[in-house]
Amino acid sequence: MGVAMLFSLSIGGVAGTQWFFLRGLKTQLQLVEPQYLQAQEQKAEMARVEAAVQQAEELAALYLYLEHPWPRTQLLAAVAAPLPRSIQLIELHVIEESALTSAEQPTGPDANHRGTAGETTKSPSAKTDLAGFRGLDDRQTTILELSGRASNIKELHDYVDLLAKSPLVAAANLKGLEAGGEGSTPGSSRFHLRIAIRPGHGQPGGPLVKPAAGEVAAISAAGQAGGSP
């Protein structure tokens, strides 16, 4: 009987200890569970914010790229600012030269969104639109073709050197120089000048410019209001 009572007391003590232990765990679980749920909500909110920021950055990159061509007025100012009085411009042509060959097919935004039969067409996004524009526009180079008369050859060469140093100009080369024809000023020469313009914003080799935080927020708000361009 003594041994039986001893075993009963031992079993009761162990059962009581486990009961108190489980009760303590349940109490701790009740305290921790709300904090866990709150942490999960914060994690989900952070993921949504990161996705929104990424979308805004993609929209900002697309808007920046769409403004990459240098304004024609800015190109004209770069040509006219260092022009000496001894040089008279007669013609100026703006040419967009493309490196595409006849065998290559240009890839535009529509090509990225077009699927084959049986495939689900993906919804357009700023990232795919930007990739499509890059596939076409990044292979183009803006060229200025200038023709005119110069009465001072040294000043003409100095003018070409100044153009080559312009931040908008990739290269400036004098392609032709000949004595002025009939009706021209004695001692003047006709010249032909070819100027290659540097890539614009967002293009390879172009200026490294990122929109400010305020601009990204404004672009994000515009994208949410009007949809992706």
The angle, 0 to 180 degrees and rounded to 10, between the axes of the packed helices 213-226 and 2-66 is 90
Q: Among 35-39, 117-121, 193-197, whose mean pLDDT is lowest?
A: 117-121
Residue 106 has pLDDT above 70, yes or no: no
Tokens, residue 49:
């914010």
Strands 87-98 and 140-150: antiparallel
Range among 18-27, 107-116, 170-179, 207-216 rated most confident: 170-179
Residue 162 has pLDDT above 90, yes or no: yes
**With the C-alpha atoms ordered 26, 27, 28, 31, is the resulting torsion angle positive or negative?**
positive
User: Is residue 163 within 8 Å of residue 195, measured between CB atoms?
Assistant: yes
- Integer Cα distance of 170 and 206 in angstroms: 11
Count the residues in the chain: 229
Q: What is the pLDDT of residue 144?
A: 93
The mean pLDDT value for 139-156 works out to: 89
Cα dist. 144→89, 106, 128, 172, 198 in Å?
13, 24, 31, 9, 11
Cα dist. 187→24, 150, 184, 209 in Å?
105, 9, 9, 47
Q: What is the pLDDT of residue 30?
A: 79
Q: Under CATH, which number does the domain 72-112+126-199 receive? A: 3.30.70
Tokens, residue 40:
């999960």
Which is higher by pLDDT, 144 or 8? 144
Give the type of residue at 54.
Answer: Q
* Residue the block writes with tokens 């021209």: 184
Range among 11-15, 89-93, 113-117, 184-188 rated most confident: 89-93
Residue 113 has pLDDT above 60, yes or no: no
The helix/strand/coil state of 109 is helix
Q: What is the pLDDT of residue 119?
A: 40
Which is higher by pLDDT, 165 or 188? 165
- 184-227: per-residue pLDDT in tens? 566 788 999 999 998 877 677 777 655 455 544 554 554 455 44
Question: Which stretches of the chain are assigned E, i.e. beta strand?
Answer: 87-98, 140-150, 169-179, 189-197
Q: What is the pLDDT of residue 22?
A: 80
Tokens, residue 35:
């904090």
pTM across the whole model: 0.52
Tokens, residue 106:
């240009």
Which is higher by pLDDT, 194 or 33? 194
**With the C-alpha atoms ordered 8, 12, 14, 15, is the resulting torsion angle positive or negative?**
positive
